[in-house]
Amino acid sequence: MRTISTDTLQIKDSIRELMARYVRHADEKDWEALASLFTPDGTFTPLNVEGKALVKMEGRQQIAETIRRSVGTATAIHHLFSYEIDVPGEGQAKGVFSMEDYLLRPDTEPLPPAANGHIPAFRSLHGYGHYHGDYELRDGVWYIKKLIQTRIKLDFTF
């Protein structure tokens, strides 16, 4: 039987809480709070189901602004499910979280242009996939250093 230290368990719990805050801020459309969960030089790269990057956001300001423009006034619902978290070294963690999200634009809102030709202009999006994250401890606080959102399936209405 493998023994896990309480320090490792506390780190894993801190990463789960960090990602829970991430999806809550996304649902509340608090883009500055969401971006503050990243290191100042953190990156976020969502991929389509073919594994192509839709965009690579670098730094808190670009993360907040890009997501703000992308989501607009859509109702956003994000859920995290199963997770795997490894602690390879001091002040470092890596994790994979199963995720599901739903974006629903109001009928009165014009559809935005397609995203880089990879995502069509949609009325609603229901997606499934994973968040793959690298996490870093800075001054006693855990942050997202790198986040990649992979997709298994995307369903749209137009």
What share of the chain in percent tops pLDDT 70? 97
Average pLDDT over residues 26-47: 98
Q: Dihedral of CA 82/41/28/128: which sign?
A: negative
Residue 115 in this model has a pLDDT that exceeds 90: no
134: amino acid identity, one letter: D
> What torsion do the CA atoms of 16, 141, 58, 113 make, to the nearest 10 degrees?
40
pLDDT per residue over 145-156, tens digit each? 999 999 999 999
Decide if 13 is inside a domain: yes
CATH of the domain at 90: 3.10.450.50
Decide if 36 is inside a domain: yes
State the total domains in the chain: 1
Residue-level pLDDT at 156: 95
Residue-level pLDDT at 24: 99
Decide if 115 is inside a domain: yes
Decide if 66 is inside a domain: yes
Residue-level pLDDT at 80: 98
Containing 13, the helix (H) or strand (E) segment is helix 6-28
Residue-level pLDDT at 117: 58
Q: Which range among 4-13, 33-42, 110-119 shows the weakest confidence by mean pLDDT?
A: 110-119
Most confident of 1-10, 74-83, 103-112: 74-83
Residue-level pLDDT at 124: 96
Decide if 46 is inside a domain: yes
Decide if 1 is inside a domain: no
The residue segments making up the domain with residue 103 are 6-157
Q: Which of 50, 57, 14 is nearest to 154 (CA)?
A: 50
Q: Which of 130, 133, 129 is nearest to 152 (CA)?
A: 129
